Amino acid sequence: MNIIVVGCGKIGTTVLASLVAEGHNVTAIDYNEAALSALFNVYDVMTVCGLATDYETLAQAGADKTDLFVATTGSDELNMLSCFLAKRMGAGHTIARIRNPEYSERSLSFAKQQLGLSMAINPERLAARELLHILRLPSAVKIETFSRRNFEMVELILKDTSPLVGVPLNQLRARYRAKFLVCAVQRDGQVYIPDGNFVLQGGDKIGLTAAPAEFHKLLRAQGITNKQARNVMILGGSRTGYYLAKMLTAAGSDVKIIESDRRLCEELCESLPKAVVIHGDGAQQELLLEEGLQNMDAFVSLTGLDEENILLSCFAASQNVPKVISKVNRDELGQLAQRLGLECIVSPRKLIADVLTQYARALQNSVGSSVETLYKLMDDGAEALEFNVRKDARVIGIPLRDMKLKPHVLIAGIIRGRESIIPAGDDVILPDDRVVVIAAGQRLQDLNDIMK
């Protein structure tokens, strides 16, 4: 597909890299010639230097013929206006990055309708929602939801003492009453789509699929606490911090925010009356201890510096805080953080890239069983995709044991109405089902692509 990305900052570059990796024809627009030159040297893209609200710039980039127009600059208004102009020129679909918390859902809905936006996307709110999911199930490293949260995939890191260690997967479900499936395993940097003979080891990162209630059964059976984090310290009063604090206080949690900018502290006090806001330098360990770090259920570091987030998260972990989460955008620093023992890393850039990759794949395939949801798993070593099954899909009516699947592909779940099915050999896929597929080492565009 032909795709235009406006804005070559941190978010825009991550989105662009993801779309180029998908094989799309991407054109980048930015008024910063140096930024465009750096992009051109790394990625196979066309570049246009200019303002994205200028007709000549948009025409030169081919906005009248583009299938998807994505505006990711730091200005909400510029993003909305450029999308509106591109749509009027003939762009097929338009997506704007809109971050301002003052825009209510009603305001965004009105703007989308009037501007012809296909989607308004907020990376900070997406990150806050992911953080909230993790804090609701602190034993998880990552939680992905499918089909309106009726079905989940949870990533866990197995301790050496876990009762799952040393047991072949085909024996696990007989041991536990919970209905779940181990559908992906990361070990020593390699991702496996396991079969029934696969034996888990301590240190493995595993992906489990199940209905939400089944996860709690499984964790209880293993003696793993899954109590929601009630006392949460947030370092940094960023937009992500604001959204997370608002969600947590609405759910009844006690939240303490530490922010060094006095003006921002005053704004947070007004907009978050249920939260405690502390003006101070969170890099000072004494301040964190004075504010009760050791008594917290969770510590979430959301400053604008990846390095600071990593270091202070390591300090919080050294104080035996049960759940520590860091915002880290740079891939190389994320890998470093994991080597230092930090299990939970969240990247707003990656979240928005995943959403746009999903949207582009769904646009590419308007005939078959299109992609409804897409997540990157196991440090991008695998993908989890949710497909809506249409009546002409090749997979319909075939018992799963008779289905000839491609290597490194697994059907991890079937959602039929409100019922979540962990598939067995006798199960079949029916029209209008939603099917969750795990794939490693390949990109699936359509449900039929899972077949040999």
Question: Per residue, what are the HEC states of 223-283?
Answer: CCCCCCCCEEEEECCCHHHHHHHHHHHHCCCEEEEEECCHHHHHHHHHHCCCCEEEECCCC
Residue 150 has pLDDT above 80, yes or no: no
Q: What is the pLDDT of residue 65?
A: 94
* Cβ pair 39, 103 in contact under 8 A: no
Q: What is the pLDDT of residue 395?
A: 92
Token pair 């209510």 is found at: 104
| Length of the chain counted residue by residue | 452
Q: Give domain limits for the chain.
A: 2-121, 128-221, 231-321, 353-450
* Cβ pair 150, 415 in contact under 8 A: yes
For the record, the structure tokens of 371 come out as: 């992609």
For the record, the structure tokens of 201 come out as: 């080891």
Summarize the confidence of residues 142-150 as an average pLDDT.
79
- Superfamily in which the 353-450 domain is placed by CATH: Regulator of K+ conductance, C-terminal domain (3.30.70.1450)
Query: Same topology for domains 128-221 and 353-450, yes or no?
Result: yes
Residues 6+ apart with CB under 8 A from 201: 158, 165, 166, 187
Q: Which fold has domain 128-221?
A: Alpha-Beta Plaits (3.30.70)
How does pLDDT run across 255-275, given as a tens digit for each residue?
A: 999 999 999 999 999 999 999
- Top-confidence residue, 32 or 444: 32
Cα separation, 167 vs 184, in Å, equals 15
The correct CATH number of 2-121 out of 3.40.30.10, 3.40.50.720, 2.60.40.1120, 3.20.20.140 is 3.40.50.720
393: left (phi over 0), alpha (psi -120 to 50) or beta: beta
**Residue type at position 336:** L
Summarize the confidence of residues 353-374 as an average pLDDT.
76
Q: What is the pLDDT of residue 440?
A: 92
Residue 369 has pLDDT above 60, yes or no: no
* Cβ pair 298, 287 in contact under 8 A: no
Tell me the range of 213-222, 257-266, 390-399 where mean pLDDT is highest.
257-266
Summarize the confidence of residues 119-137 as an average pLDDT.
90
Q: What is the pLDDT of residue 367?
A: 46
Summarize the confidence of residues 391-417 as an average pLDDT.
91
* Cβ pair 280, 256 in contact under 8 A: no
Lowest mean pLDDT across 20-34, 84-98, 323-337: 323-337
Q: What share of the chain is helix, strand, coil (3-state, %, to 5)?
A: 35, 25, 40
For the record, the structure tokens of 118 come out as: 């296909």
**Residue type at position 442:** Q
Lowest mean pLDDT across 185-199, 268-282, 310-324: 185-199
Q: How confident is the model at residue 127 (pLDDT cuts 50, 70, 90)?
A: very high
The correct CATH number of 231-321 out of 3.40.50.410, 3.40.30.120, 3.40.50.670, 3.40.50.720 is 3.40.50.720
**Residue type at position 340:** L
Q: What are the two backbone dihedrals, phi and then psi, of residue 257, each rounded to the nearest 5 degrees?
A: -110, 135
Q: How confident is the model at residue 377 (pLDDT cuts 50, 70, 90)?
A: confident
Lowest mean pLDDT across 56-70, 227-241, 250-264, 328-342: 328-342
Summarize the confidence of residues 38-65 as an average pLDDT.
95
